[in-house]
Structure 1
Amino acid sequence: MKIIRSVLIVIALLLAKISFAQSGLPKSEQEFQNYFKGKKDSLDRIEGIWSVITTQEYYRYDTLYDVIKYPKPVKVAILSAGNGYDTYNLNGASYNVKFSRTDVPGVYLYRNYFEETSEYSRTQAVISKSGEMEYNYEFPEEYLKLKFKDSYESGTKVVNVLKWNRILPAQD
C-alpha cells in the first residue's frame, strides 16, 4: 500500500510540474507579442510571430490538375523549446509543426505531425533569412485516404506550399 501511495504522489507531483511549466506559456496573441517584445535581443532568428500563406497543389500521377491558394494567412508563433522550436496557431487551432536546429546558422529542419493518422511528414531543411521562410511537403498517403474517403484515387498527391513572413519582432 505504501508503494502505491508513493507512486501516486510522484505521479501527482510530475503532473503538477508539467501543468505549471505549460501554464507559463503565452496563451493569446497579445501575450505572445509581449513575450517576444520583452525578449527581442535574445531570440533566435526563427522565433517570433509569423504570417503563413498556404497553397495546395493537387497531382494525379505527377500531373498537376488543381491549385488552391488560401487567401487568408494564418498567424503562427514559433517559440524555443529544448533543442528545437514549437509552433502555436494564434487562431486557436492545432499547428503541429516542429522545427529543430542544424549546425548551420539560419537553417532548420522541420516536420509536420498529422494527428489523424499518427504520421510525420518527411523532414526537410528550411532557411530562415530576412524574416522569410518557404518550404513545401507532401501529405502522407494514409492522411489523404482518410480525408478524401471514397473519392481518393491511386496516384493522388497533394503538396502544401507554405510561405512564412515574420511579423514580430520586425526585421532590422
Structure 2
Amino acid sequence: MTPVLVTPPTGELIDMEQLKLQCRTDGPEEEQLLAGYVAAAIGWLDGWGGLLGRAIQPQSWALDVSAAGRIRLPMPDVVSASAEYASETAPLALSIDAGGAVVEVTAPCRLLFDCAMPEPKRALATQAVMLLAATWFRFRETVGTASMNELPFGVRALVQALRWRRV
C-alpha cells in the first residue's frame, strides 16, 4: 500500500533572507539559484518517499485499503484521518503508539490522512534544508564520487534525529 499525495504543502519553509545570510550572499541575482536548492532539498527529504519518510509541512495523503480491519498508517505525525466509503466519508479515531497511527476501517475504502510535523521537529527539518541548500550553493559541482554520496555532517545528524523508522 503506497500512499499518494493529495494536498501538497503550501507556504514557505525557509526564509530567503535568512538563507542568504547563511550563504553570505546579499545580491538578488542568486535568489533563484537558492530557491532551486531549497526546493530540491525539500523534495529529497519530504514526504513518504523522501529520506525522512515523513511530512515536513502540513499535507494530505490517501491510501487505498482493500479490506476491513486495523490499518497502520505509513507516516508519522498524523493529525486526522477519514475513510471514503462508497456512499459516505467518515472521520476515523486515531490510535497512536510507538509504531505510529492506527485506524480501524469497516470495509474497503480510501483512507485520507493529514500529517503535520510538530513544531520542534519542523525547526530541525528547516535547519537541515538550510544546511543542505547552503552546501549545494557553496559546492555547486562535485569533486569526486565520494562527495556525491555523503551528507554534510550537520545534515546527517539532523536527518538521523528526524528520520521515520517504519516497522
Judge same fold: TM > 0.5, yes or no: no
- Bigger-Rg structure (1/2): 1
Q: Which of the pair is proportionally richer in strand? A: 1
TM class by shorter-chain length? Answer: under 0.3
Structure 1 length-normalised TM: 0.22
Q: Which of the pair is proportionally richer in helix? A: 2
Q: Answer 1 or 2: higher relative contact order, Cα 8 Å, separation at least 6.
A: 2
